[in-house]
Chains A and B, each alone.
Chain A
């Protein structure tokens, strides 16, 4: 028994080796290099936590941190409001129809952020398609680009599939008898939703929210292309320090803090019911 278990462990570890090697070379190693970089002095010399000390007193960093948090939270909420009805609708369909509609949900998921951002520029611009249509009705152009609105549209569009799947999973795992039982007891459709369906889907909502929030923290292309100067997020700040300020220790420190924040959120995700299935791909 003991020998078999040990063998099984060795075998399982062997399966994980290629991925582990890949991650070690292309994630862990560069991460250490970034961590090392963040501990350098600006003008060379020994290791120091100077960059971190400086970062927390830099108004720019604090403002960007606040913006990142604000954008991530509002994008999460906005995506939830749009994703929940989609998931609810999908859950009610027959398996064939659901498979078909799922493709529609996945199309944006398969499209590059860059392509999507440019499409949104065409759609939302000052003389874009939407404003031209509004103009036809005599409505003055609305500023939808290079501001928070543009960022929200772009981010939600990207994030919705990540929200739909965990919610759909928790809606579909609810026994059909529960709603049926509630109906026979006299509950109307709204009450069944509020008292049965919704509470039972909360683990999926929580898992989805954390996942989407983690993804939001690291957004780069969308705020850069669709947002204005005031919509700068962590990743854009890293870009700023590397390419414009040429302050690599500061850029690395921001990157390390971003990874730390994401790791913290991922740890929370593994703690919520339904969240571990997203991380482990195991379900239940």
Chain B
């Protein structure tokens, strides 16, 4: 699957793809290239267009314009059943009248695979999803997590080039969801099948993805690795949607390395700009709770920013604790630290300082 330049060939190549329903835009012009073997997550709130994009790729809806190329084949006009894809649904979509084995054998029967080989491959994928003994049961007799494993097995048994997953863990409880995330990652690693995964759960996206495509208001907001989206969000929406964040009003007061941001009449801080924003640019300062430190009595590391306020309250959530601080300018922010009795026992109302190094803040233009 590598071409002469050594770069991986694209499994999905989407250009100028758009979907309208009458006068309503369901998906604005979208470009996307997914290398073979990648685990790409479409992340966004409901109504952001991620399901529309998935349906267009699956062939369940046809685009208003644009092209979809899968594994080198233009499938824009090809009906769903001829695209050779796999799909996993939130509600499993297992056939209730068929046994687990019959469900998994169904796509193989369509492909006219000989009976003996069907038996062998069904047993093989049941082993792969670690449910070797449920072949004779009906889907209803299995738990939600088990049913979703069967639906994944039904998908990988015919080795599609690409597997689409539409919020597959949405119906499961939190603990099972985390277990299944690992399971899906393991299967992805073992088989190397390209996966396109839709979720609205940012934590799930960060856990599982090679890359995340963040969608908002029916267009692509940002695409990048989990690291890039978390540490280098390009927009306020991206900063707010992924991870916990505090966004403070800010204006560029001085450019330079680092630049000076004015937060209020009396407060300012230093930050490294990642774009050439001229003096006077208005935007927000993004601060992640875990990058902030709660300080008392002005014991601030030299060169770090500091803001003054008073402690509202403290929540001990286990290994980490959260402090909520109201700044003198009225804004509130959250600080997350490893639980330490010397700070968790502070009285609410106490004057405190919040400090952070210039490189961890991020200025996002309006």
- Which A residues lie at the B interface, using CB under 8 A? 175, 177-178, 180-188, 191, 195-196, 199-200
Q: Is B49 part of the binding interface, using a Cβ–Cβ cutoff of 8 Å?
A: no
Residues of B within 8 Å of A, CB-based: how many?
25
Residue ID in chain B nearest A200 by CB atoms:
B97
Please report whether the interface of chain A is mostly helix, strand, loop or mixed according to DSSP.
helix
The answer to whether A180 and B93 have CB atoms under 8 Å apart is: yes
- Which B residues lie at the A interface, using CB under 8 A? 58-60, 79-87, 89, 91, 93, 95-97, 106-107, 110-111, 154, 158, 164
The answer to whether B107 and A185 have CB atoms under 8 Å apart is: yes
Residue ID in chain B nearest A195 by CB atoms:
B106
Number of A-B contacts (CB under 8 A): 58
The answer to whether B81 and A187 have CB atoms under 8 Å apart is: yes
The CB with the most chain A CB atoms within 10 A, among B79, B84, B86, B106, is that of B106
Residue ID in chain B nearest A189 by CB atoms:
B81
Residues of B within 8 A of A182 (CB): 95, 106
Measured in the bound complex, the distance between the Cα atoms of B158 and A181 in whole Å is: 14
Residues of A within 8 A of B80 (CB): 180, 183-184
The answer to whether B91 and A184 have CB atoms under 8 Å apart is: no
Residue ID in chain A nearest B79 by CB atoms:
A183
Residues of A within 8 A of B158 (CB): 185-186
Residues of B within 8 A of A185 (CB): 81, 86, 106-107, 110, 154, 158
Residues of B within 8 A of A188 (CB): 81
Residues of B within 8 A of A177 (CB): 89, 91, 93
Residue ID in chain A nearest B90 by CB atoms:
A177
Shortest distance from the beta carbon of B113 to any chain A beta carbon, whole Å? 12
Residue among B95, B111, B154 making CB contact with A196, cutoff 8 Å: B95
For the complex with contacts A178-B95, A180-B89, A186-B110, 13 further pairs of A-B residues with Cβ separation under 8 Å are: A177-B91, A177-B93, A178-B93, A180-B93, A181-B87, A184-B60, A184-B81, A184-B86, A185-B107, A186-B81, A186-B84, A186-B111, A200-B95
The answer to whether B110 and A184 have CB atoms under 8 Å apart is: no
Measured in the bound complex, the distance between the Cα atoms of B154 and A191 in whole Å is: 17
The 4 closest A-B pairs by CB, nearest first: A181-B93, A177-B93, A185-B107, A184-B87
The answer to whether B107 and A186 have CB atoms under 8 Å apart is: yes
Residues of B within 8 A of A181 (CB): 87, 89, 93
The answer to whether B87 and A191 have CB atoms under 8 Å apart is: no
Measured in the bound complex, the distance between the Cα atoms of B94 and A200 in whole Å is: 12
The answer to whether B81 and A200 have CB atoms under 8 Å apart is: no
The answer to whether B81 and A175 have CB atoms under 8 Å apart is: no
Measured in the bound complex, the distance between the Cα atoms of B110 and A185 in whole Å is: 8
Residues of A within 8 A of B81 (CB): 183-188
Residues of A within 8 A of B83 (CB): 184
Residues of B within 8 A of A178 (CB): 93, 95
Shortest distance from the beta carbon of A71 to any chain B beta carbon, whole Å? 32
Shortest distance from the beta carbon of A194 to any chain B beta carbon, whole Å? 12
Shortest distance from the beta carbon of A204 to any chain B beta carbon, whole Å? 13
The answer to whether A184 and B95 have CB atoms under 8 Å apart is: no
* Given A183-B81, A188-B81, A199-B97; A175-B91 close (CB under 8 Å): yes
Shortest distance from the beta carbon of B108 to any chain A beta carbon, whole Å? 9
Measured in the bound complex, the distance between the Cα atoms of B151 and A180 in whole Å is: 13
Shortest distance from the beta carbon of B214 to any chain A beta carbon, whole Å? 25
Shortest distance from the beta carbon of B89 to any chain A beta carbon, whole Å? 5
What are 25 pairs between A and B in contact, CB < 8 Å? Answer: A180-B60, A180-B89, A182-B95, A183-B60, A183-B79, A183-B80, A183-B81, A184-B58, A184-B60, A184-B80, A184-B81, A184-B83, A184-B86, A184-B87, A185-B106, A186-B82, A186-B84, A186-B107, A186-B111, A187-B81, A187-B110, A188-B81, A191-B110, A195-B106, A200-B97
Measured in the bound complex, the distance between the Cα atoms of B110 and A186 in whole Å is: 7
Measured in the bound complex, the distance between the Cα atoms of B275 and A8 in whole Å is: 71
The answer to whether A200 and B96 have CB atoms under 8 Å apart is: yes
Shortest distance from the beta carbon of B21 to any chain A beta carbon, whole Å? 14
Residues of A within 8 A of B85 (CB): 184
